[in-house]
Structure formats: C-alpha cells, structure tokens
Amino acid sequence: MKQVTEMNIIVLIKQVPDPREYVRIREDGTLDREKTRGLINDCDKSALEAALRLKERYGCRVTAISMGPPKAEDALREALAMGIDDAVLISDRRARGSDTLATSYVLYKAIEKLGKFDLIICGAESSDGGTAQVGPELAEFLGIPQATFVEDFEVEGNHILLRRRMDGGHEKLRLAMPALITVLKEINKPRTTTFSGILRAMNMPISIWSLEDIGAEVDKVGLSGSPTKIMKIEKVNLRRRKILIEGDNVEEKVNNLLRILREEGVLSEVV
Amino acid sequence: MKDYSGVWVYAEHDGNAISRSTLEIMGKGRELASRLGVELSVVLFGYGVSDLVETLIEYGADNVYVSDDERLKYYKTLNYAKLLTELIRRHRPEIVLFAASYKGRDLAPRVAASLRTGLTANCIDLDIGDFEDREKGERFEKILYQIVPAYGGNVVATIITPYHRPQIATVRPGNFQVPEKFPGKGKVFQINFGSEDWDDDVEVLEVERDEEDSKLEKARVIVGVGVGARGSEGVKILKRLAEALGGTLGATRPVVDAGLLPHECMIGETGKVVRPELYLACGISGAAHHMIGVRGAKVIIAINKDPKSPICEAADYIVIGDIFEVVPKLLEKLGKHGDAL
C-alpha cells in the first residue's frame, strides 16, 4: 500500500470575473475578461483548501493548474500564497473560446506532461459558466474514476472515502485512486492569505505553457476546435403586463388585489 | 452525419417511479422528434425497473432500451457511462437529452467526452432550426438549438453542435410541463452486457434519502422572498401568507446566502426553475438572474415599495407598498373569506 506522504495532488482553478463587476460580451459571444478584476472561482478555492489540509496532515505535494489569459497568473499567485507547492498556467491565444470538451482536452494534455498524480481536486462548478462539465470530461480523458458534488472526503490508503450530494439525498462512496473529485464550496472555509504567504509567493516561479509545450493539437482547441458554438445571444424578454393595482390606502389596494386573484382564477379554491 | 437519427432521453428514477424531470424532458423530446420526423427513444438502467417501462411508453417512448441487472442497482458513473456510450455508438441517435440533476450532470459529461462530442449544460429551452456557417460555406438543416441563460441571466445564448453527433444537452428540471400521456409505439429492447469490462474502482457504501422532495416544483402558489423582507420577521409573515394561499416559499439568492431560507428554496439561474399558477414576489427587486427562474409562472404579482424597481416591468400586477403593511392586511382579509387560515 502506498504511503499517503508520497501523494501528488493536482488542483484545477479558474479565474472568474468578480460577479459584482460589469463584464463586456464580445461579438463572438465570449467574455472580455481582460479589463475585469479576476477572482479565484469560489469552489476552486475550497478545492485548494482541501488539498492544503491533506498536505498539512500527510505532507503531499500540491500543484495548481489554470488555463486562461496571462493575467490568470494572479489567481495562481494567490494559490501559491495560500501554500501550494507548484503552479502551472496554460496560456495560449489559440485556446481562447474553448468549450468544456476543448478545455478538458488541454488540461488532460497538461496533466500528461506533469506526469504522475494520485488525486485531482476541482471545484464543482464555476460561477461564470456553471456547467460543472470540465471535471468529469477530464476524468474521462484520463480514464479515471470520479465523484462530483462532494461535500466531505478523507484519504484511506489507496482510496478516497467521500460523501457526495445526490438527487433526493446523499451517497457515500469509496473511490480507488488515482481519481478526480469535484467539491462544493460548503466542503470547507478556505484560509485567507497571510502577509508571509504573499511574500513567499512573490519569489516562486509559475510555469507558463503553450499548446506546443503540452503537445496539444491546435485543431482541437479554441473557438474553432470546440464542438459547441454560440450561434446567437439575445436579451431575455422578461416583460409582462405591468398593471398597477390602484388604491388610496392599503385597504383598497388589498381589496383590489384579492379581486384580481379571483379573476385570474389563482385563488378560487382558497378565497 | 446523415446516418445519425432519433431523439434519445436518458431516464432517471428512484427505483419506484420515473422522475418528474425525465417526464418533462420526454414531452419536449416528443415534440422535437415529431418535428424531425424521427422516433423518441428512452434508455432505462437499473435493477428491478421493468415495471417502469410502461410509464415510459405511456409518455411517448417509441423505443425503450432497458437494462435491468443487479449490477446496475446503484448508480456508478464509470459503468453507466460505458454502457450508455456503447449503446449510443451502436444506434447513433442525433440528439441525447439528460436532466440537469446531480446524476445527469455527473453522467452526461462523461458520455460526451467519451464520444468526443459537444455538451450544453442547463438548457432552459430546446428548438430545431437551421444554421449557416459562412466561414466554411456549410449549411445545416434541422439541428438542435440549445438555449441557455448566460452571464448572470441577462441574456440567453443559443448553442449549437453543428459538426459533431450526437448533439447532447442537459435540461434544467422545472422548465417544461409534465406532458399529457401520449403513448408511443412502445418497442422494448433488452440490453445485456458482458462482465469483461465491468469496473469496480468505485464502491457505493451508503445511499441516504435525506432530502424531502422539493415542494417548489409542484406548488401552485409560490410566495417569493426578497431582501425587502428585511430578515426573519419578514420571512415569518410571508410564510404565513404562503400557508394561507396553500403555497410554499421561494427565495432569491441574497436571502438564501444570508441563511434566512434553505438552499432548496432558491429560484433563478443558479437555483430552481418553477412554473406555478401564481408567483407573488415580495420585496424582490426583479434581477434577471432571479426572474429567469419564474418565467413559466402563469401570473406574477409583485408587492414592492419602489415603483422604479425592475420587478415592476417583469410582473403582471404590481402593488406599490411595504410588505409589512400589505401582507398583514392581506392575511386578515384571507382569514375572513374562508377557512384557509
């Protein structure tokens, strides 16, 4: 049985736009992330925290990988400040606009280049895309077992014991490693970075890899290499009848409201 | 790509009944299949599930591919994905639909990646249409339009998968009505599989059914709680209102984030999609990412202090007023009118 101390953990993180900021949408339907402040996606931060707790307990090596524009380096710098060992940024203009299949293919090639790993932890879904697909698609490329929407887990020898959310409840599973899990943000409360952590991170290298560096085929990535395409984007029309319910005081307004409820037939059984 | 034909739905169940979200998707699947002039097929995996085949036929399945096997008693990603992928490779459907449930979102990406095709998550609508790729000079007829809310719910995007088959999508539960029964041709195919590539890397230790079936999806009346409820006092009177109307409570994201109501009450882009007879929005500003979840409501009535609030555009009727004045008065009158209180 393998010693837990030899474990290599990979954490996948995504830089997402600050939800409080306005983000411009480009003509081709992709987001213009360059001018916005980027944050580490919520549940990816929980994934980092989960990996760091294993590291503190067993001394594993933790590598974070991100794919994105050059400024996604900030997200990795923050992960280094939190305490991870290595950081890799896959940044290549030709990868812009990759859908989930193309993204998981690129991550797969990068992980192949990194070599051996025991556990991959990623956030369950991103706050901007919210597809929850990259984790399972990557697991399929790697041919390893997966568990998604994990709320709690521990390492036991060569296995992961975990509790995951499921329709109508929860499930407890035992997964053989190497494996991939995606975690919900409720799994833990991520640490904040300390001043000494930030200082330490400033001097640590971040590997920046192009498509050539990881041996990814260019025709399988980016907008043109993605099976799904954005055909059009429209404003949602949520406008309705907008009829003001009149009344000089609360009493009158409520009387009119009750009359309308009856007329609309939505209250016939109650009133 | 011409040799891909048919619409498939992956059926979810709890061992006793087909899930509501599957029936919703079957209704839409039936409609897509008619427009394409193809058959609707449903895939059913599990153990002791043969009784459920009848339901699938009643709701429009022309073909049911069923695998009833003890080894399928528990949902296991790798084995289910392998089996389904193999079935898709053999029969080549042009469209495969999953519920965007925990299970569906676990299984669909695995299958899509194995087939190296596209997958669109959390669709709120599906349609059939044409597409012209001017760059490549290619024209596609009758492909699947996969409609998803994007970028905070202010816009919807139409996603297509023109060059790959099958076209796969997960569909948000609650978006479509459960259809009327409309029996399909109902041919049943038993699927057997060998044990040679059975995978045992995952063991299911325990299944906990600890969540109540959500009341939101079935509710006729939903009282929506927004930040205007100003804390637990507001939640309390709105709960009384929901009870008086024979309904249940829903909430916006900030209300759930503040811990005033549980996560399963959340409605909107990142929460549930509902279609009640009446949605009574109380102290809700009307942000698009929330309102996209109640788009299917028959009537939306807003009670709000601010006549300039966006909710006033997105409601059928608006009462301008403080919910702490309007709702108690409403409760009083409802009490007088019947035995509902």
Quote ipTM for the complex: 0.91
- Look at B154 and A235 and tell me if their CB atoms are within 8 Å: yes
Nearest residue, CB atoms, B119 vs list A133, A141, A265: A133
Please give the residue of chain A at the shortest CA–CA distance from B82: A140
Instruction: Say yes or no: domain A4-225 is CATH 3.40.50.620.
Output: yes
Q: How many CB atoms lie within 10 A of CB B335?
A: 12
Nearest residue, CB atoms, B156 vs list A139, A144, A236: A236
Instruction: Say yes or no: domain B216-337 is CATH 3.40.50.1220.
Output: yes
- Is the predicted pLDDT of residue A132 greater than 90, yes or no? yes
- Look at A228 and B118 and tell me if their CB atoms are within 8 Å: yes
Tell me how many degrees the CA angle B231-B289-A148 measures, rounded to the nearest 5. Answer: 95
pLDDT of residue B339: 42
In whole angstroms, what is the distance from residue B90 CA to residue B92 CA? Answer: 6
Q: How many Cβ contacts (< 8 angstroms) between chains A and B? A: 249
For residue A204, what are the CA distances in angstroms to A68, A78, A199, B337? 19, 11, 9, 72
For residue A154, the distance in angstroms to the closest alpha carbon of chain B comes to 14
Nearest residue, CB atoms, B312 vs list A139, A242, A254: A242
Mean pLDDT in residue range B306-332: 94
The fraction of chain B above a pLDDT of 70, given in percent, is 96
* Structural tokens at position A266: 């939505």
pLDDT digits (tens, 9 = 90+) for B178-202: 999 989 899 999 998 877 667 778 9
- Look at B313 and A270 and tell me if their CB atoms are within 8 Å: no
Nearest residue, CB atoms, A145 vs list B78, B149, B301: B78
Q: Which residue has the tokens 């409760």?
A: B331
Query: How do strand A146-156 and strand A159-166 relate by DSSP bridges?
Result: antiparallel
Mutate to test the interface with A, among B172, B202, B291 (most CBs of A within 10 A): B202
- Is the predicted pLDDT of residue A269 greater than 70, yes or no? no
pLDDT digits (tens, 9 = 90+) for A244-258: 999 999 999 999 999
- Residues of B whose CB is below 8 A from A269: 246
For residue B276, the distance in angstroms to the closest alpha carbon of chain A comes to 10
Domain with CATH 3.40.50.620 in chain B: 7-190
pLDDT of residue B181: 93
Give residue B263's pLDDT band: very low, low, confident or very high (50, 70, 90).
confident
Q: Which of A108-112, A205-209, B129-133, B180-184 has the weakest average pLDDT?
A: B180-184
A9 alpha carbon, distance to own chain's centre: 17
Q: Burial level of B194, CB count in 10 A (0-12/13-18/19+)?
A: exposed
Residues A266/B278, Cβ–Cβ less than 8 Å: yes
What does DSSP assign to residue A96?
Answer: T
Could you list the beta-strand ranges (E) of A70-217: 86-90, 119-123, 146-156, 159-166, 169-176, 179-183, 207-209
Mean pLDDT in residue range A218-235: 95
At the topology level of CATH, where does B7-190 sit? Rossmann fold (3.40.50)
For residue B185, the distance in angstroms to the closest alpha carbon of chain A comes to 30
* Structural tokens at position A230: 């954005």
- Is the predicted pLDDT of residue A271 greater than 50, yes or no? no
The answer, yes or no, to whether the previous bond of A178 is cis (omega within 30 of 0) is yes
Q: How many CB atoms lie within 10 A of CB B290?
A: 29
Query: How do strand B138-150 and strand B248-251 relate by DSSP bridges?
Result: unpaired
pLDDT digits (tens, 9 = 90+) for B144-178: 999 999 877 778 999 999 999 999 999 999 989 99
Q: Is the dihedral of CA A214, A218, A220, A226 positive or negative?
A: positive
Domain with CATH 3.40.50.1220 in chain B: 216-337
Element holding B37 (H helix, E strand) = none
- Look at B202 and A133 and tell me if their CB atoms are within 8 Å: no
Residues A30/A69, Cβ–Cβ less than 8 Å: no
Give residue A34's pLDDT band: very low, low, confident or very high (50, 70, 90).
low
What average pLDDT is seen over chain B? 92
pLDDT digits (tens, 9 = 90+) for B79-121: 999 999 999 999 999 999 999 999 999 999 999 999 999 999 9
Nearest residue, CB atoms, A169 vs list B201, B211, B319: B211
Nearest residue, CB atoms, A236 vs list B146, B153, B326: B153
* Structural tokens at position A119: 């556990």
In whole angstroms, what is the distance from residue B55 CA to residue B316 CA? Answer: 37
- Look at B116 and A101 and tell me if their CB atoms are within 8 Å: yes
pLDDT of residue B341: 37
Highest mean pLDDT among A13-27, A197-211, A254-268: A197-211
Q: Burial level of A166, CB count in 10 A (0-12/13-18/19+)?
A: buried
Phi and psi of B205, rounded to 5°? Answer: -90, -35
A131 alpha carbon, distance to own chain's centre: 9
SS (H, E, C) A191-247: CCCCHHHHHHHHCCCCEEECHHHHCCCHHHCHHHHCCCEEEEEEECCCCCCCEECCC
Give residue B336's pLDDT band: very low, low, confident or very high (50, 70, 90).
low
Residues A228/B160, Cβ–Cβ less than 8 Å: yes
- Look at A25 and B162 and tell me if their CB atoms are within 8 Å: no
pLDDT of residue A55: 96
- Look at A236 and B161 and tell me if their CB atoms are within 8 Å: no
Please give the residue of chain B at the shortest CA–CA distance from A176: B201
Residues B235/B254, Cβ–Cβ less than 8 Å: no
- Is the predicted pLDDT of residue A4 greater than 60, yes or no? no
- Residues of B whose CB is below 8 A from A157: none
What average pLDDT is seen over chain A? 92
pLDDT of residue B215: 82
Give residue A265's pLDDT band: very low, low, confident or very high (50, 70, 90).
confident
